[in-house]
Chain A
Amino acid sequence: MNLDRLRKRVRHYIDQQQYQSALFWADKIASLSHEDPQDIYWLAQCLFLTSQYHRASHALRSRKLDKLYGACQYLAARCHYAAKEYQQALDILDMEEPASKKLLDKSVKEDNGIREASKEWEVSPTSINSSICLLRGKIYDAMDNRPLATSSYKEALKLDVYCFEAFDLLTSHHMLTAQEEKEFLDSLPISQQCTEEEEELLRFLFETKLKKYNKPSEMVIPEMAHGLQDNLDVVVSRAERHYYNCDFKMCYSLTSTVMVKDPFHANCLPVHIGTLVELGKANELFYLSHRLVDLYPTNPVSWFAVGCYYLMVGHKNEHARRYLSKATTLERTYGPAWIAYGHSFAVESEHDQAMAAYFTAAQLMRGCHLPMLYIGLEYGLTNNSKLAERFFSQALSIAPEDPFVIHEVAVVAFQNGDWKTAERLFLDAMEKIKAIGNEVTVDKWEPLLNNLGHVCRKLKKYEQALEYHRQALVLIPQHASTYSAIGYVHSLMGDFESAIDYFHTALGLKRDDTFSVTMLGHCIEMYIGETDAYIGTDIKDKVRKTISTPALMKMLNSSSDNDDSRAQPLEESGIMALETPPNSNKPPNTLQRFLLECDMHESDMMLGTSLSDTST
């Protein structure tokens, strides 16, 4: 009996996904060859592929193969993992503690028996070990043991630098901070395991997957990666860059080309959903999420899309929460859904519940600063600036160069009345943004410009304040609060006429703005007090000459008197104008701040979706 021919047939059937046939023949081979370990292994493999996990595990373990051969050990554990019996899977992996310890300690030197066996089986021992480490990491992950999972993934990757899954799990679940990611990538023995060409390729591909949202920057594709520019993964990564730089239009055009080529590109979906939310394309998101739910009901991304849709259309937060929680139950570690879940509370000003969700996200995504940022924001909104500051500084320690965080820290400083620091930080954030382009052109940054305006006003640099507000107006025209801010600055400069003009414009856009209403009334009074009764002196003089009646004399007298008397109140009124704002405008001003933060918050909220580049 030529068993080899039959063995080949089994492999062939496996390749053809005809698992039942493969199973049948593998079973027969195993019996014919008197339970050759390798044939048992293939039998188990077939059982695994037909989802008969316990049979597979039993086939291996009853013959104690899992203790002799790494591959069998891996498969047995894999079976229990697939059956969601994590502890058992771990037990199998840990059974040979000394051997695996050894493996981990010195990855090159191996146990003799296993080596021989592995060689026979045409699988390199390192790749098995790497697979074991990966599986171990996944088990730990499933058991919510984040630190061990992380170290296991790292181990797997060190053993086999091509092991993308481990890398992907590390990055997409935000287990490392940007700094750690970088260091880890540098520490990988890439040069030992691959050729020079491949090394560069590997480096480039991995780097595109690294964190993109901790600081705005451009992406450069190296020369050697020609042909990869149009690779969908690379395009998606470019889109993500644009997303983070808040160039949603560009991002949208990239992601939509990807979606045309591959309608459900897993990596692209989160970014695409994010841009759809940003650009307010509710209809498209609706259609997309419907299709996703129909086709991939078990993928959290589908429900995440639905949740985003409800979050976006507004007043449907209850629905949004329902679907987002569905996404999180499908995959507990799906961070973006948690963040969006938090947002659904945040927009309703349910600060505590929002924070709870953010905290979960923070635990899940240790290397991501956004949950911290949001928690800080929520604390800021509940007037707890001390705690807010703490969380911001945590966020800052993870992502020291994110302008969003810097901006929020500056806002806290502003609230504490520390204008100088606030100004410095705002300018700092501005610098970071300008690093990508020479000019701020993205309307996401309108609040930053406005806040700079506010700070400059507080520091009495009125001209500068006006300039900043004007720039803000260019980014987002017809914004009522910008107009009232400009009006306010003008009123402080004593230019009541312009102030009145701007307050009018602001009120035209937003009729019930109490700040503008009170300031308008105030300014009109000041303005009337300060101006002449009418315009044009030339004719008055002429009149004086023609009719020099005593009545006119009287008139002249009164007007000169009046000039004196007018000068006095003007002075006073000027002081009053400068004095009153701090008192009378404190509440509206804080209100304004509040609004700005809301703006900022919303903008961040959308950013939250950007980190949802989880694929599995």
Chain B
Amino acid sequence: MAATCSSDFGDLVQIKKQLITIISQCRDRGLVHSVKWASELAFALDPLPLNELPPPQELTEEDAQDLDALCLAKSYFDLKEYDRAAYFLRGCRSQKAYFLYMYSRYLSGEKKKDDETVDSLGPLEKGQVRNEALRELRVELSKKHSAGELDGFSLYLYGVVLRKLDLLKEAVDVFVAATHALPLHWGAWLELCNLVTNTEMLKSLSLPDCWVRDFFMAHMYTELQMIKEALQKYQSLMEAGFSKSTYIISQIAVAYHNIRDIDQALALFNELREQDPFRIENMDTFSNLLYVRSMKPELSYLAHNLVEIDKYRVETCCVIGNYYSLRSQHEKAALYFQRALKLNPRCLGAWTLMGHEYMEMKNTSAAIQAYRHAIEVNKRDYRAWYGLGQTYEILKMPFYSLYYYRKAHQLRPNDSRMLVALGECYEKLSQQVEAKKCYWRAYSVGDVERMALLKLAKLHEQLNESDDAAQCYIIYIQDIFSCGELLEHAEVSTALRYLGQYYFKSKLYDEASLCAQRCCDYNDAREEGKALLRQISAVREQGEASSTDLSLPCVFNPLSNNTTPVRRVSPLDLSSVTP
């Protein structure tokens, strides 16, 4: 199959034909999102000549019998009168009618549930509102399933029902079966995507070999934060002939967003908006990027633009929420996120963002709720896990926050922020050893906030491990100076202050005085610096010759002239510091 898969890409005509077929099939069954996906892809491919167009589906005897009922029911279905549609499909025997029958029952339950949610409570107090139809549907579908009477679409529906009932293990199996039965139905792949929690699980699935699978894998890699692989996949898909697909462009943009390559992502989103100016999907992600960059005018423009297109869309509400949040109007922001959730309670981004807003408003319990909902929707949302950690930290429950930070860390093992957070928690639990490990690790994976070393140093300081502390401060100062930016003066001064004292105690007066001098550059450490200098000169005046050193560490050269690039500390130099 691998051969057909790759050759399939060569045969774009074939793919296009398949897409056209599946579009009509999905449309007949009211699976609008899959229709949209397939249509977007089909649009990206060249149009087919008339004689190449695939013939319409052949009808069986049963189909013909059910045709009228199906037609009637479909019209009710499109008008969202699901119960009515189901009623008229009761006795039908064709597969298509059966699917529509079950699907309308399912949607009827969902609609009632959502109405209930909006009516009675805010989305925050979701409570016990449930889709009552699910259990019946499960029983009926499972009977059919074990009899092997379900087609690809019905399998998909069965999977959805199972997932809604939190029977995830069973759901995965059913979705895999659904993809085998009908590889072109994107909905099944997408559902599967939501259920795969890690790479091992992904590897263990036996998926059909079809060109759709590549799309799935790429999507999966993006979700699993394996961005490099994802980008590669998308690149190859583009090369295979889907270069015009807006779907792929948006996915790549999301991928860049996930690895925080903000510039790339912004560029892609701008391109996307040029190609598809009335697109609302993914614009919430775009607004996140603008938010991170604090690009107020752009965000404002985007928000206004989207309101013009459709103000009652989840994404629009999220964008507006972000906009208000950037302007520190957190109540309003929360209001808009709430509206987004009313529109779609399963909107992941809105839950997380709402959690952030509640955090800003210091409403921890609401924040916890919101984050939990986010996790319920998607367990791989590290921001929500991280947020939970933060809230529990505020609530002074370090064990809990430790757990949540760990979850976030599992999802993004190389993100220093989680590691620093973990370290802080360990520190609070007086597990200094673990804390030290975390900080060190945070530094070594590339510290974004440049806090890890400082925290590590302070920790050493507390534990009276002065050599280690000094070591850390040295690296810290080097780091700060090497990056050239002038941030966090106060912290540099503490480092210098400590180093001054340290060298003084180790009788390395030259270094000590150097540090002390540098201390005087900073307002808050000036007095101490001067005092230290006085002390040093006092000690020196006693005329000590014994303390003359053989080697003078060159660590402080960069301090004297910070315009020149810093040289890394050589091991030899550092070893001289240790006793």
Contact = CB atoms under 8 A, between A and B. Distances in A.
A508 B441 contact: no
B437 A551 contact: no
B444 A540 contact: yes
Interface string A455-480: 00000000000000010011011100
Interface string A553-566: 01100110110000
A443 to B, nearest CB: 7
A549 B426 contact: no
Contact of A528 (B166, B372, B399): B399
Interface string B406-429: 100110011000010010001001
A558 B167 CA distance: 44
Contacts of A509: 128
A540 B414 CA distance: 11
A228 B135 CA distance: 34
B373 to A, nearest CB: 9
A534 B422 contact: yes
A539 interface: yes
B434 interface: yes
Nearest to B404: A524
A531 B406 contact: yes
A616 to B, nearest CB: 36
Given A478-B165, A549-B571, A533 B467 contact: no
A533 B442 CA distance: 11
B409 A477 contact: no
A535 B413 contact: yes
A550 B575 CA distance: 6
B167 A477 contact: yes
* Most interface-central of A547, A549, A561 (chain B CB within 10 A): A549
A497 to B, nearest CB: 9
B438 A533 contact: yes
A527 interface: yes
Interface string B232-248: 00000000000000000
A534 B399 contact: no
Contacts of B138: 477
Nearest to B375: A504
Nearest to A528: B402
Interface string B378-406: 00000000000000000000011011001
Contact of B403 (A474, A476, A524, A533): A524
B406 A558 contact: no
Given A478-B166, A558-B433, A524 B400 contact: yes
Contact of A555 (B372, B403, B436, B574): B436
B136 interface: yes
Nearest to B401: A524
B336 interface: no
A539 B414 contact: yes
Interface residues of A, number: 39
Contacts of B310: none
Contacts of B419: 534
A201 to B, nearest CB: 34
Given A478-B165, A539-B441, A525 B413 contact: no
A534 B413 contact: yes
A474 B167 contact: yes
B471 interface: yes
B468 A554 contact: yes
A439 B399 CA distance: 43
B472 interface: yes
A192 interface: no
A422 B158 CA distance: 36
Contacts of A474: 167, 170
B273 interface: no
B437 A533 contact: yes
A543 B444 contact: yes
A554 B463 CA distance: 13
Contacts of A533: 422, 426, 434-435, 437-438, 441
Contacts of A417: none
Nearest to B132: A280
Interface string A428-456: 00000000000001010000000000000
A527 B403 CA distance: 8
A534 B438 contact: yes
Contact of B409 (A249, A535, A547, A552): A535
A133 interface: no
Interface in A539-591: 539-540, 542-543, 547-552, 554-555, 558-559, 561-562
Contacts of B422: 533-534
Given A249-B136, A533-B434, A534-B437, A551 B471 contact: yes
B539 interface: no
A528 B406 CA distance: 9
A549 B166 contact: no
A505 interface: yes
B574 A521 contact: no
Given A533-B438, A550-B578, A555-B440, A562 B433 contact: yes
B298 interface: no
A548 B572 CA distance: 10
A98 interface: no
Given A524-B400, A535-B409, A539-B445, A550 B574 contact: yes
Contact of A548 (B136, B167, B433, B571): B571
A128 interface: no
A500 interface: yes
Interface string B431-464: 0011111101100110000000000000000000
Contacts of B166: 473, 477-478, 505
Nearest to B170: A474
A589 B198 CA distance: 34
Given A477-B138, A528-B403, 13 more contacts: A249-B136, A443-B135, A474-B167, A478-B130, A478-B166, A521-B399, A524-B399, A527-B403, A533-B426, A549-B569, A550-B577, A554-B467, A558-B433
16 contacts: A478-B130, A500-B403, A528-B402, A533-B422, A533-B426, A533-B437, A533-B441, A534-B419, A534-B422, A536-B414, A539-B414, A547-B571, A550-B471, A551-B467, A555-B440, A562-B434
Interface of A: 249, 441, 443, 470, 473-474, 476-478, 500, 505, 508-509, 521, 524-525, 527-528, 531, 533-536, 539-540, 542-543, 547-552, 554-555, 558-559, 561-562
Pick the 8 closest A-B CB pairs, nearest first.
Answer: A477-B165, A551-B471, A533-B434, A543-B444, A533-B437, A550-B578, A536-B413, A524-B399
